[in-house]
Structure 1
Amino acid sequence: MAQKTNYTKNGNEYYRVTVTVGRDSEGKLIRKEFYGKGKKEAEAKRDEYLNGIKNGLNVDFKDAILGELFRAWLFEVVKLSVKPSTFDKYEGIYRNYIKDSEIYGLKINLTKSIQIQRYYNKLYKSGKSSSVIKNLNKLLKAFFNYAVNEGYLMRNPCVKIVIPDANKEAKPEIETFTDEEIKKLTEVLNKHRLKALFLLDFGTGLRQGELLGLKWIDIDFEKKELKVQRTIKQVTIIDGDGNREYKTIEQIPKTKNSIRTVPIPSSLIPVLEEYKNRQKEEKLKAGPSYLNDIKKGYVFTTELGTTIDARNLTRIYKKLLDKAGIKYKKFHAIRHTFATKLFERGIPLKTVSLLLGHSNISITADTYTHVIPKVKTNAVETLNDLFI
């Protein structure tokens, strides 16, 4: 028996049902139409929609596209609550792994875990690391939590996702400088303009952004200590139209514990004083074009008083290592060396964690697991005299 229809569109016959779902901002009735090959199919679509609203789903949930809503969430919600450097990272994830991807056009309300899982599996097979996929999933999971709260879908499809080979990816070993390498580097730094910067980092373990963000008002020469109160970072600022601008910005430190006071080794005080005198000479030489305040401005600057770009600092650092005949290590290896040397000298884990500004002691313990067993062994070895 032929199905009855009541509506014709583009030469095709359908059965149409309509339902009122509320009023718009002007008080006019909002009506939704549902089509099917017959009455039963059209009414089933209507009932599905109404049940969705009854269960708290957004009235527009069936029209929401994953990529479109993700971008709106990223630029109109997330951007207001994170640091520019964090947003730069998130925007990169969106641009590289969501925009123009196979998941961009998925309907929000129909998105299933298996679709996301298949996409992650394809990324892994194409050569993307587990850590890259993990970061993508972390951001997508936050987005879907937002979508659930806003009523676009009932459950988060990223909750039970398995990151391909996440447990097989070996944790990279941290790099440190040996005593011999430190000696070689110190010799090369002897007459270098930024000698104070590198030696201060070996003596305090500051993160690169914290080091470059130091101001003279943060250093107490009498107490031989410095305060970490800000960082500077070069980031790409992205507006709503996607326009990009590379800028140096000042930010609060990474975590609450990152705002801290760190003692300065006594031997570095004369080095800092010498550098400050040199900075004064550079200001006199540059004249009006000098851009830094010697009393309250940044400690480490260019010869014209501008902030040091992290990329330029990395280039300077690499040249110093080449000159000293030391195999390249990341700049962060200086911070790792600081922590490792403290452990080797018997400094307690809690103290090292505080000096590093870690958010909790477990991060310190996890990062330096290669050092701590040796420290424990050495500690027990001190009891040998009890048995002689």
Structure 2
Amino acid sequence: MPYKKANGEGSVQKYYKNGVPKGWRTTITIGRDDKGRLIRKQFYGKTKLETIKKKDDYLNKSAAGMLPADEKITVQEWFKIWLYEYRINDLRPSTLERYCGIYKIYILNSSIGLKKLKDLKTSNIQSYYNILINEKNKTPNIVKTLNKLLKSGLNQALKEQYIIINPCNSVTLPKLPPKKEIKIFTVEEEKKFIKSLINHRNRALFILTLGTGLRQGEVLALKWPDINFKDNELKVQRTFKRVQLINSTNSKNKTQIIIQEPKTKNSKRTIPIPSSVISELKKHRAKQAEEKLAVGDAYVNNDLVFSNSIGEPIDARNITRSYTRALKRANISYKNFHAMRHTYATRLFEADVPLKTVQELLGHSDISTTANTYTHVLPKQKIKAVDRLNDLFIL
């Protein structure tokens, strides 16, 4: 059945399907393709007025530069472009790896990932988050992380006029659960652990971590020139991380230990080393020299403070296993490797070191991070501080 033009409307036509009228349609030309052929766009409506209104709305947005460059692009297609073309060179490899993981698990082929970018609404995202929480049993932290990534990617789409507003701005996120109290070594456990490390290959590594609060990647990336034996201090200048080497193809990504910049700008820092820990480092350096001589030309001289038997970087997974076995051997309940960093900070607070100083020693970018992490210690320090005022009121 041919289309019938409405009287006086020219390009607005009635259209039929199997002889039954279905509404109205209008067609406009919006340009030419790379072969010079006309590109046309159609608008449909139940009435002539609705059809004309859709067409006029499109033309007005086009004149204002508010139309997406590609109306057919899906959310997942856009995020792949954003990750592999926009962010691949400006993100730390470990961060890019994490973002790509979130994309593959929570965006690719999901209900929001398959939607056209221009059609994505807050209600779609909200519904998806509710499903993740209520049906998939995902944590509020996962939803919060996903929303942060979505929001960032959609902000870029907004800049490029693929969308008019960012639908993530109006989403209601689930409340985060209270933070779990961090685990630390008691003073007795710390002494017991250190005592148990006699003749342990990683004795100096574990003791240095307890005595400086270094992150695992920071301690593994230390080089001998970073340690100033004269002034008893060290400089944190780099970190090691095993990451997947991300590529935009579908080939399997390989993993590799890489050198990265420290976590934040404040993570590049100078830390004093207790004199007893300095002694452990000197003993460790002597043992390392013996290993180097024994291996001979096969030794890789990376100048690393902590390396494997032939001088290569130590895989963090191996250190974690070694640490876990050492705890078990010392008959100390399991605490993750990061607990040594928490223990260091706690001992500082117990020694009345000011919050700002602890922040700088830990390399936190914001003092609130330090305060929020060590809420279990700070109240006791406040009580001790107030108790010191007692002498003022004794007559």
TM-score after normalising by structure 1: 0.92
User: In 1, are the aligned partners of 2:15 and 2:25 still within 8 Å (CA)?
Assistant: no
Question: Is 2:139 the partner of 1:133?
Answer: no
What residue in structure 2 maps to residue 203 of structure 1? 211
Shift in alpha-carbon separation, 1:10–1:245, aligned structure 2, 3 A? farther
Contact kept? 1:230, 1:253, Cα under 8 Å = yes
Match of 1:66 in 2: 75
- Give the distance between the partners of 1:182 and 1:359, measured in 2 at CA: 28
The 1-side partners of 2:193 and 2:233 are apart by 24
1:211-360 matches, within 5 Å, as 211-242=219-250, 243-293=252-302, 297-360=303-366
Report the CA distance shift for 1:10/1:190 in structure 2 as closer, same or farther (over 3 A).
farther
Where 2:137 maps in the other structure, the secondary structure is coil
Contact 1:342 1:352 survives alignment (8 Å): yes
The more displaced of 81-90 and 241-250 is 241-250
* 2:71 partner SS: helix
Q: Kindly provide the CA deviation profile for residues 141-197 of structure 1, in whole angstroms up to 9, marking residues without a partner as x.
A: 11111111111111111012112233xx12111111001111111111111111111
Give 1:172's aligned residue: 180
Residue equivalent to 2:9 = none
- For the Cα contact (< 8 Å) 1:61–1:153, is it kept in 2? no
- The one-letter code of the counterpart of 1:143 is G
Q: How far is the alpha carbon of 1:47 from its aligned partner?
A: 2.8
Measured after TM superposition, the shift of residue 266 of structure 1 is 0.7
Identity %: 46
Unaligned runs of 5+ in 2: 6-12
Structure 1 distance, partners of 2:64, 2:195, is 71
Equivalence for 1:75: 84
Specify whether residues 327 and 122 from structure 1 end up closer, same or farther in structure 2 by C-alpha distance, changes over 3 A only. same
Q: 1:78: Cα distance to partner?
A: 1.4
Partner residue in 2 for 1:155: 165
Match of 2:30 among 18, 21, 37: 21
Is it true that 1:4 corresponds to 2:13 in the alignment? no
User: Does the residue aligned with 1:159 lie in a helix, a strand or coil?
Assistant: helix
CA deviation after TM superposition for structure 1 residue 370, in Å? 1.5
Distance 1:349 1:188 in 2: 32
Tell me by how many angstroms 1:292 deviates. 2.7
In structure 1, stretches of 5+ residues that fail to align are: none
Looking at structure 2, the residues matched to 39 and 60 of structure 1 have their Cα atoms a distance apart, in angstroms, of 28
Quick one: which amino acid aligns to residue 344 of structure 1? Answer: E
Rounded Cα–Cα distance in structure 2 between residues aligned with 1:173 and 1:123: 26
Q: Which moved more, 1:238-247 or 1:32-41?
A: 32-41
Which of 348, 372, 387 is the matching residue for 1:381?
Answer: 387
Shift of 1:52: 2.9
| 1:33 corresponds to | 41
CA distance in 2, matches of 1:246, 1:315: 19
Deviation at residue 285 of structure 1 after TM alignment: 1.4
Q: Alpha carbons of 1:261 and 1:55: their partners in 2 closer, same or farther (altered >3 Å)?
A: same
The alignment partner of 2:300 has SS state of coil
CA distance in 2, matches of 1:343, 1:30: 73
Paired residue for 2:116, among 100, 107, 128?
Answer: 107
Cα deviation for residue 103 of structure 1 reads 1.1
Q: Distance in 2 between matches of 1:383 and 1:43?
A: 79
Matches of residues 177-192 of structure 1 in structure 2 within 5 Å? 177-192=185-200
Give distance in 2, aligned partners of 1:377 and 1:221. Answer: 37
Please tell me the residue identity of whatever aligns with 1:209: G
Structure 1 345/38 Cα, relative in aligned 2: closer, same or farther at 3 Å? Answer: closer
